[in-house]
Amino acid sequence: MKKSILSLSVFLILMILNPLFAVDPEIKTISNYADDNYTLILEGYDWGPAVKKVVLQTAELTTEANATDYKIEVERSADGVVMKPEEAKGSREILFAYVSDANGNRVSEGNHITLVLLVHPNNPLDSPIKYVFKDGRGSNQWIDYKMTITQVSTTTIWNKEVSRLYTDLDRFNLKGKHSNNGITLTYASFEPKTTAVKSPLIIWLHGGGEGGSDPSIALVANKATNYASPEIQSFFNGAYVLVPQAPTFWMQNANGDYTRGDTDDIYNKALFNLIDNFVKDNPKVDSDRVYIGGCSNGGYMSLKLILEHPNYFAAGYISALAYQNQYITDEQVKRINNVPIWFVHSRDDTTTIPDETVVPLYNRLINAKAPNVHFSYYDHVIDLTGFYGGENYYFPGHWSWIYSHANNANFDFDNKPVLLNGENVTIMKWLAAQKK
């Protein structure tokens, strides 16, 4: 009996002297794990990037995880940017949880828990970027994206981001910079792992909302990273990818306004110089297989460079063309008559109206007997994944580049399949076959 009383006394003294033994439920046990660090895992979607997973560090090895034991609150902000309440803060829905390593790979036992989150097109809280309108123009920008993750059963909190993983973006070198005639363009590039002596070059030119000096935005705002994906790369047996970025927007003229083709823009000469130098500086690029494409503003600039340098590019792939047909002369149509081009557009595009841009130009090229011009003309831009409504879900009609990035386009203006050597082909398989 005396021994039991003594043991109890020692235990009580230890509790008083050492706060680690405190039993107050409001106090985290053992400083509540060793760490409050988390890692974000981002993925690209047709509408842009989203935080798909969050990886939590734990103090002890664990073998199981339960999604219902966690809750996540998000805060999004940016200096000088006013956000609506519903896009500034709120909760994220957790789909499931599993034990993982630090990179989110499932393991049977480990020091990390990965939470997989619900992502959908209409929830701004999913996204670490935002379309910001200021100084007279709009652009996509990375913003502050902060999470607070709570383990309900222990009140443990993780609220310190230590790293981000974005597999599709991480394939690219984002440090490219090129200056010509007083204009500096940043760019991203991808180099294929291939044993081929020469490899083609795929050039992608972003839309009006991706200008600036951070080429990651030109890649992620509408999933242009997909041109370096294993699927698309397989059609080319490996291809270089070049993604230049305009400091403002490709259609800017000398007055700072938009040109629709009626006046010259300020960037096309510096851009062509960048492309030509990139080809020369990378001797494994096949100069007979340089492909140029883009969307909206980038569609304008793709056509502009083809008009200016029709013998340089092996083919073009252009979506949501912003170049106005009325400013293209008959002589220019003849000049590009033999350049293979595949257009992609949606009938419900109210930004680059097809009857003012791509439809009349396509008809003029066909009337001029262009031998290798195609046009996939969609009624709407739908959810290709089927996760968010499939054909019943409509993205904005301007977003026809989704069909290009996803390599979905495979039909012509007459709704018949595009054939190559008797085989029905997609836009990327067709592009890979073009050569000067």
What does the pLDDT look like over 376-417, one tens digit per residue? 999 999 999 999 999 999 999 999 999 999 999 999 999 999
Sequential DSSP letters for 144-165: EEEEEEEETTTTEEE-EEEEEE
Q: What is the mean pLDDT of the chain?
A: 92
In the chain, list all ranges with CATH 2.60.40.2180. Answer: 29-165
Evaluate if residue 23 carries a pLDDT over 70: no
For the domain with range 29-165, which CATH number is right: 1.10.3470.10, 2.60.40.2180, 2.30.30.230, 3.30.470.20?
A: 2.60.40.2180
Q: In CATH terms, is domain 167-432 a member of 3.40.50.1820?
A: yes
Evaluate if residue 17 carries a pLDDT over 70: no
Torsion of CA 23, 25, 31, 33, to 10 degrees: 110
In the chain, list all ranges with CATH 3.40.50.1820. Answer: 167-432
> Under DSSP, is residue 7 helix (H, G, I), strand (E, B) or coil?
helix
The whole-number pLDDT of residue 138 equals 85
Q: Which residue is it, tokens 């050492």?
A: 18
**Considering only CA atoms, which of 316, 365, 366, 321 is closest in space to residue 345?**
321
pTM for this model (two decimals): 0.90
Question: Structure tokens of 178?
Answer: 């090129």
The total of other beta-carbon atoms located within 10 Å of residue 295's CB is 31
Confidence tier at 134 by pLDDT (50, 70, 90): confident
Q: Burial of 433 by CB count in 10 Å (0-12 exposed, 13-18 middle, 19+ buried)?
A: middle
